[in-house]
Amino acid sequence: MEGLRGRLLVDGKLLTGTLSWDGGRIAAVATEGEIGGADLPVIAPGLVDLHVHGFGGFDPLEDLAGMARALALAGTTAFQPTLFPSRPVTLGAACEDLGRRARALASGSGARVAGIHLEGPFVNRLAAGALPPSDLCDPSPQALREILGPATGGGRGVRTMTLAPELAGAADLVRELARSGVRVSLGHSRATCAEARAAALSGAVGATHLFNAMPQLHHREVGLAGFALTDAALFAEIIGDLVHVGPEMFELALRARGPEGLCLVSDALRGAGTGCERFASHGRDHVQVGGSAYYPPQEAGGAPRLAGSAMSQLEMVRRLVERGVVGLVEALTMASTSPARALGLEREIGALRPGLSADFLVLRGAGLALEAVYVAGARLV
C-alpha cells in the first residue's frame, strides 16, 4: 500500500490528511480537519474533461493514445474525445474506429476515455459558431442510426451528443438517445426556455459550453442559457479561459448553479499544450492568443474569429483562481467531481473516496505547480 500526506479535496473542503491506495484503488482517506497544512501539497481528484477536441498536438482521430498521454501529463485523467460534425455515415465510421482504439488503450498509460462526445451534426445552422454549417444535417432516425450503428450494438462508444432541441425531429432523437443510454447535451441552439425544458423532460441532461453558441439572456426570454442557470436538470459545461465567458458572467453562473452544477471544460483544440502560436486542424489554420484559439481574419482589416481554447483544464483552474473569479475548491470541484457526476461515473472517478480509482493530482504552492499525476495508482508525472 502507498500513501501521500497533504491537503485533500474531500466533500467540498480541503482537509489535512493522508490518501492511501493499493492495486489501483483508493484504500483509505484519513483526514484531520481544516487545520494548518499550508506547506503541504494539494491532493485533488484527477480532472475530467467532457469536451476536448485535441491536445498536445494530437487529434483523437489521428492519435488517440498520444492525446490521452498528453492530457494526463497536463492533469486531465479522464476525457470525452469530442468530434466535429460530418456526414452521418462518415461520423459513424469514425466513431466505430475511435471506440475500438479507446477500448485498446492500456490502463494507466494516459487519461482514460470516458466515451465519445459528438458536437453535432444535429445542431442549428444559425448557431453553428465555429462548426462548419455545411457539415450539419437535419435530425432524423435514419441519420442517427447511421451514426450509432445497429440497434443491438453499443452505440459505437458514443456517450454524449450535442444537439439543438428546437429543430424539427429533434424531440424524437432526444427520447431515442436517452433510451439508448447516450447523454443529450443541448447546444449550438436557439432554443427558448420552454423548448429547453421540454427536452430536459424527455431526457436531456447537459448544456454544451454555457453562453456560447446560444441566445443571449433577455428579460422576457431567458432561452437555453437561462434554463441551464435556473434548473438543476442540466449539468452545464463552461469554458474557463475567461475569453469564451467573461469573469462577471462566470461568477453569475457560479452563483446560480454552484460548483456542483457546472462542469469546467477546455474545449481545447490540438494546438493546446504545444506552446505554438499557429497550428492547423481539420484543414483550417488557427492562431493561439492569450489561451484561446482563433481562425485568422479572412480579409484585410478583418477580425479573428474565436474557434476554441488553447488551455488545459488545470491551466483554466489556475487562471480562475489567480484572477479571483472562483476559489480553489470550487474550481477543482467543477473540473473533477461535477463532470464525473455528469457522466454517471461518480462511483469510479472524480473524488477521493475509498473504492474509487486512484486517479489524483498533487499540486504544489500558490501557483498550483503540477508535481505528480496518478492514474489507476500509477504515477505518470
- At 106 the pLDDT is 79
Going by C-beta distance under 8 Å and a sequence separation of 6 or more, which residues neighbour residue 282?
84
Region 117-145 average pLDDT: 95
- Whether 21 shows a pLDDT value over 90: the answer reads yes
**DSSP for residue 67:** H
Split at pLDDT 50, 70, 90, the class of 107 is confident
For the chain, the structural domain boundaries read 46-349
Going by C-beta distance under 8 Å and a sequence separation of 6 or more, which residues neighbour residue 248?
none
DSSP strands (E only) in 218-368: 235-239, 262-265, 278-281, 284-289, 292-295, 305-309, 360-364
- Whether 376 shows a pLDDT value over 90: the answer reads yes
- At 296 the pLDDT is 84
Whether the ω angle into residue 41 lies within 30 degrees of 0, i.e. cis, is no
Catalytic residue, candidates 49, 241, 267, 359: 267
Region 27-35 average pLDDT: 87
Catalytic annotation present for 49: no
- Whether 375 shows a pLDDT value over 80: the answer reads yes
- Cell 427558448 -> residue: 192
Nearest to 206 by CA among 180, 178, 179: 178
Q: Rounded to whole angstroms, how far apart are CA atoms 215 and 226?
A: 9
- At 150 the pLDDT is 84
Split at pLDDT 50, 70, 90, the class of 90 is very high
- Whether 293 shows a pLDDT value over 80: the answer reads yes
Split at pLDDT 50, 70, 90, the class of 279 is confident
Region 102-122 average pLDDT: 93
- Whether 10 shows a pLDDT value over 80: the answer reads yes
Exposure of 79 by Cβ count < 10 A (0-12 exposed, 13-18 middle, 19+ buried)? buried
Region 26-35 average pLDDT: 88
- At 152 the pLDDT is 64
Average pLDDT, the chain: 94
Nearest to 183 by CA among 235, 139, 126, 146: 235
Region 263-274 average pLDDT: 95
Please tell me the pTM assigned to this model.
Answer: 0.96
pLDDT tens digits for range 190-236:
999 999 999 999 999 999 999 999 999 999 999 999 999 999 999 99
**Topology annotation, domain 46-349:** TIM Barrel (3.20.20)
- Whether 179 shows a pLDDT value over 70: the answer reads yes
- Whether 98 shows a pLDDT value over 80: the answer reads yes
pLDDT tens digits for range 294-319:
888 877 767 788 889 999 999 999 99
- Whether 371 shows a pLDDT value over 90: the answer reads yes
Split at pLDDT 50, 70, 90, the class of 320 is very high
